[in-house]
Structure formats: structure tokens, C-alpha cells
């Protein structure tokens, strides 16, 4: 993500690593990464947004930033993750901003839009649909249940860490399906091999509660991108996403694209983020 700078931004007792690029007076677009990645997942998207004149903010989120890595699982509930987004915006002087999220970053983006709508100008979510739609699909759709079965492993403390990190993180590397460049995969793996880093990232799963299935509808202009090659998210939840957005809504299906949308299809992501951002001007 260049040009730009890496800042350490305090939010309460936590210190976040945040990549900031683009003109200081540009409209702000905040990019939230997913699991098991970092803000580097936006490296192919962010420069395109900067070139279009926007200020881009991409944090390593709670658990991923070494200075924002609490030990207790209870510190990783989704309401706190959404609070981090607002806290970072406050610390950077962003009264209102456009929010983009992929995977877990999308889940946090949905929650931020639902609970803090006054702070957002627009929302673009990649892969994960509104959490009510996602959870409804998990309850009733066999494909969604099969694709979401990995969550049971990730919630098992110790067992998940061992399975993902053994043999030089062979299973962790396999998640990227040969889509993400090896040098970037190596960087993700090195980051999660830091002491406590993977456990902190997995705490997002372990802190989930049934309340996420009751997330309010979003009333922010929204674009949702789902890819038909997604190994984690089934179509049933994606198709139902619109039911939980009470505002202008665009649903885009990316054919032949894997779960790793920001890395595999940065031009398409940029196109739709810019379309959504410009639609609010």
C-alpha cells in the first residue's frame, strides 16, 4: 500500500498499526481486513483508491496489531471490534467515512453500520453478508452448513492453533488456494506465527455470541460483493442479504472468483467501491 505511512494510533489502552495513504483533505475510506490476513490484503486496492483522490485508512485490527492484543477472549466481542473502528476514526479526526470490509472485516463493517450509522457515509462488504442473513443460512441451508463447518475447529482453543501452525503452517497456507501470491502468504503466516497472534485472531471466533444473529438492519447505502468460488460463504446467505439493508443496495456476484476477493479481483473491488462512494456525493 504505497504511497503512505504506517502509524501507531492509540484507542483507549490499545495501540493499532494503521496504514494511511492519500491526500489529507480527501474523503476517507476505511478498509477492514479479514482472517487470516492483515491490512496488507488491501495492497492492490488501496493505491487505486488513492489515485482516485481518496484518503485510505487500513488498520491491523484488534489482535493483529501487537499493541492491541488483549489476552482474554472476552476482549474480542464484535461490539468491541466495531467500537475500535469508531475509536480509530475519532483518533484520526474522521467524523464520517466510507467503510469497506472483507471476510471478518465485513462482519465488523456490518456491525459498525448497524450500531453506528451516523458515522458512515457508505458501506461496501465483501464475502460475508449481513450477519442475520448469514446465520439464517447456517441454520437452514446444507451448503452453508458445510461451508461454515470450519468454525467449529477454530473455536477449539489449542487444537486450532496446533492444526494451523504445524508443519510450517501448512494448513494455514492451504487456505489461500494458490490465489494469493506466495510472498504475501508468507507475510500473513509470519505475522500469525508471532507469539499469541494466531490465538488473538481466533478469539474473534471464540467470542461470538448468538446476539450476532439479531443484528439490526443497516440503513446506510450499501454494496455487497459475493464470489461464486467462495469456499466459506454459501449463496443462500448472500442472496438474502438485501432483506437486511433498508437503504440503496447493490448486490454483485463475481463469477469464477475465490474467497480472496481483494487480492484476486482488485480492479473489480475498486470499481464497485468507487461507484458506491461516488453515489453518495
3-class state of residue 21 by DSSP: strand
Cell of 152: 467449529
| 168 Cβ contact list (under 8 Å, min separation 6) | 189
Going from the C-alpha of 13 to that of each of 10, 16, 87, the distances in angstroms are 7, 10, 11
Residue 81 and residue 61 in contact, taking contact as beta carbons nearer than 8 Å: yes
The full DSSP string for 78-97 is: HHHHHHHHHHHHHHTT-SSE
Handedness of CA 120, 123, 127, 131 (dihedral sign): positive
Query: Does residue 15 contact residue 37 with C-beta atoms inside 8 Å?
Result: no
Query: Hey, what's the cell of 151?
Result: 468454525
102 as an active site residue: the answer is no
**98, 191, 259, 272: the active-site residue:** 259
Residue 103 a catalytic site member: yes
- State whether residue 56 is helix, strand or coil: strand
- Contact 109/101 with Cβ under 8 angstroms? yes
The residue from 43, 103, 134, 230 that is catalytic is 103
d(CA 256, CA 230): 9
> Is 84 an annotated catalytic residue?
no
Catalytic residue among 176, 188, 205, 224: 205
d(CA 82, CA 92): 16
Assess contact for 101 and 32: CB atoms under 8 A.
yes
Instruction: Write out the catalytic residue numbers.
Output: 103, 205, 259
Amino acid at each position: 500500500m504505497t504511497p503512505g505511512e504506517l502509524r501507531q494510533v492509540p484507542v483507549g489502552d490499545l495501540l493499532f498499526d494503521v496504514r494511511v495513504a492519500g491526500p489529507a483533505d480527501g474523503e476517507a475510506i476505511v478498509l477492514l481486513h479479514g482472517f487470516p490476513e492483515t491490512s496488507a490484503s488491501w495492497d492492490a486496492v488501496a493505491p487505486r483508491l488513492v489515485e482516485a483522490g481518496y484518503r485510505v485508512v487500513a488498520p491491523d485490527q484488534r489482535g493483529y496489531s501487537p499493541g492491541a492484543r488483549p489476552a482474554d477472549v472476552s476482549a474480542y466481542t464484535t461490539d468491541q471490534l466495531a467500537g475500535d473502528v469508531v475509536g480509530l476514526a475519532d483518533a484520526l479526526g474522521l467524523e464520517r467515512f466510507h467503510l469497506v470490509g472483507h471476510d471478518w472485516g465485513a462482519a465488523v463493517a456490518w456491525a459498525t453500520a448497524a450500531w453506528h450509522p451516523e458515522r458512515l457515509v457508505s458501506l461496501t462488504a465483501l464475502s460475508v453478508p449481513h450477519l442475520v442473513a448469514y446465520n439464517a443460512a447456517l441454520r437452514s441451508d446444507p451448503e452453508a452448513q458445510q461451508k461454515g463447518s470450519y468454525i467449529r475447529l477454530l473455536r477449539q482453543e489449542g487444537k486450532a492453533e496446533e492444526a494451523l501452525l504445524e508443519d510450517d503452517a501448512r494448513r494455514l497456507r492451504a487456505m489461500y488456494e494458490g490465489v494469493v501470491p506466495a510472498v504475501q502468504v508468507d507475510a500473513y503466516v509470519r505475522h500469525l506465527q508471532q507469539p499469541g497472534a494466531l490465538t488473538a485472531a481466533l478469539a474473534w471466533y471464540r467470542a461470538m455470541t448468538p446476539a450476532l444473529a439479531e443484528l439490526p438492519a443497516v440503513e446506510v447505502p450499501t454494496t455487497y460483493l459475493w464470489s461464486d468460488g467462495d469456499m466459506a460463504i454459501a449463496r443462500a446467505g448472500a442472496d438474502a442479504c438485501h432483506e437486511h439493508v433498508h437503504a440503496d443496495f447493490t448486490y454483485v456476484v463475481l463469477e469464477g472468483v475465490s474467497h480472496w476477493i481483494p487480492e484476486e479481483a482488485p480492479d473489480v473491488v475498486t470499481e464497485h467501491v468507487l461507484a458506491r462512494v461516488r453515489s453518495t456525493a
